[in-house]
Every structure is written in structure tokens, then in C-alpha cells.
Amino acid sequence: MTEKFDVVDLNDRPIRQLARGLVHRDNLFHRAIHVLVNTNSLSWILQQRSSNKDVDPFLWTSSCSGHVDPGEDYLSAAIRECEEELGIVADRKLFIEVFRASPCLETGNEFVRVYLLKYEKE
């Protein structure tokens, strides 16, 4: 099944849905999240990007990241990505939004929200 994104306008309002490849090929505005996971005052979880990634293969990046699914809000996407990529199931109240980026070449025309999650394994 083809992954689809909400294409959004300059005010971050959804205007239609298109396949991931078309959104990236045509540099259309869409949404993404990053989560930085702090496990204690000195330790952070980072990921090394796969060699198969189109952009920045092998580079280190945030704890987890991903696109916001159609109809999904940013925080729900952050929670979902933490579970999918890291196996971390955390209450939404533990996620703190720390930064927003507007679409530009550096973000791949993504509206980005960055969250901090202070996570202590039980």
C-alpha cells in the first residue's frame, strides 16, 4: 500500500492527500515530527539512519522521527513513532513540545514539531 501524507497550505491546514513519493518529488508542504528521548540527565537516545535512506544515510539523528499520517495530530504521531521505532510506550503528558520549524529547503518543506520525552524505564 502506498503511504500517503496530508499536503498542507502555508498555514499548516490540510488541503489534500498524496502519495509520499509525489509529495517529496514536488516539494509540497507536509508534516513531520522528531522526538528527543532523555533517559537521565546525561543520556540521550539517538538513531543512526539506515544506509537505504534517500536523505542523509548513515548519519545520526533524533531518537525517532516520522511523518504525520493523514488526519493525525503532531503529538499522536510522536507517540506512535516512539512506540514503532523504539518500543517506548509513554503517556502523552510526558511529551513536551520544544521547537517548531516552518517549511523550507532544510526541512524538506515540512512543518516540523520537535518533542522532548524524559523517559525512565520502569
* Burial category of 38 from C-beta neighbours within 10 Å (exposed 0-12, middle 13-18, buried 19 and up): middle
pLDDT of residue 122: 60
pLDDT of residue 41: 72
CATH number at 10 reads: 3.90.79.10
- Into how many domains does the chain fold? 1
Q: In the structure grid, which three cell numbers stand for residue 66, read together?
A: 516520522
Each residue's pLDDT tens digit, 50-96: 888 777 888 999 999 999 999 999 999 999 999 999 999 999 999 99
